[in-house]
């Protein structure tokens, strides 16, 4: 029995993967890094991708993500569309949860944070800007909690220095 024909979407995805040109060194370095034991001093926990718009950063990140997933790593993504550090953390936590990694303590606290934030934003008696101040305080608390997660401390150092100077 002949194999069923591929859909147009499957063919396009396959072509995009095979046509990915110009960043083979980055992909190779990233893939080799994933094979190193966590304790190995050569192992990197942070890869920085930057450049002008339209040069293939998103495509490279998709390739990194695919390689990481194939190696059994948990993968999550956020970008500048998140308005605050807590929102970015919430988006990442949701993606980890969807992959089967339960973050019960964070999820409960984030749900409470969102509820309280909504209450503050809709309270006509709350001082102007109070919600933003509470958000920053919660972000700092979230960063301190995140430092307890292995490897999280290094990533959160970067977030904290970017967000709070």
Residue 32 confidence (pLDDT) above 90 = yes
| Per-residue pLDDT tens over the stretch 44-83 | 988 888 888 888 888 888 889 999 999 988 899 888 888 8
pLDDT at 89: 92
| Per-residue pLDDT tens over the stretch 78-135 | 888 888 888 999 999 999 999 999 899 999 999 999 998 888 888 777 776 655 666 6
Establish how many alpha carbons lie within 13 A of residue 57's alpha carbon, considering only the half-sphere containing its beta carbon.
9
pLDDT at 44: 92
CA separation for the pair 27, 33 (Å, rounded): 10
Judged on CB neighbours under 10 Å (0-12, 13-18, 19+), 139 is buried
pLDDT at 92: 92
Which of these, 76, 26, 13, lies nearest to 56 by C-alpha position? Answer: 26
Written as six digits, the tokens of 128 are 């102007």
Q: For residue 16, what pLDDT band results from cuts at 50, 70 and 90?
A: low
Residue 165 confidence (pLDDT) above 50 = no
**What is the DSSP track for 94-134?**
HHHHHTT---HHHHHHHHHHHHHHHHHHH-TTSPTTHHHHH
CA separation for the pair 11, 92 (Å, rounded): 30
């Amino acid at each position: 029995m002949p194999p069923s024909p591929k859909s147009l979407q499957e063919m396009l995805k396959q072509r995009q993967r095979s046509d990915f040109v110009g960043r083979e060194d980055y992909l190779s370095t990233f893939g080799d890094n994933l094979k190193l034991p966590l304790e190995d001093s050569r192992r990197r926990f942070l890869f920085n991708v930057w450049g002008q718009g339209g040069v293939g950063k998103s495509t490279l990140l998709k390739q990194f993500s695919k390689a990481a997933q194939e190696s059994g790593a948990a993968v999550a993504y956020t970008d500048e569309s998140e308005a605050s550090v807590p929102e970015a953390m919430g988006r990442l936590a949701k993606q980890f949860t969807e992959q089967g990694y339960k973050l019960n303590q964070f999820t409960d606290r984030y749900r409470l944070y969102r509820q309280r934030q909504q209450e503050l934003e809709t309270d006509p008696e709350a001082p102007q800007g109070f919600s933003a101040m509470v958000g920053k305080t919660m972000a700092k608390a979230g960063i301190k909690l995140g430092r307890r997660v292995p490897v999280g401390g290094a990533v959160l150092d970067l977030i904290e220095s970017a967000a709070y100077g």
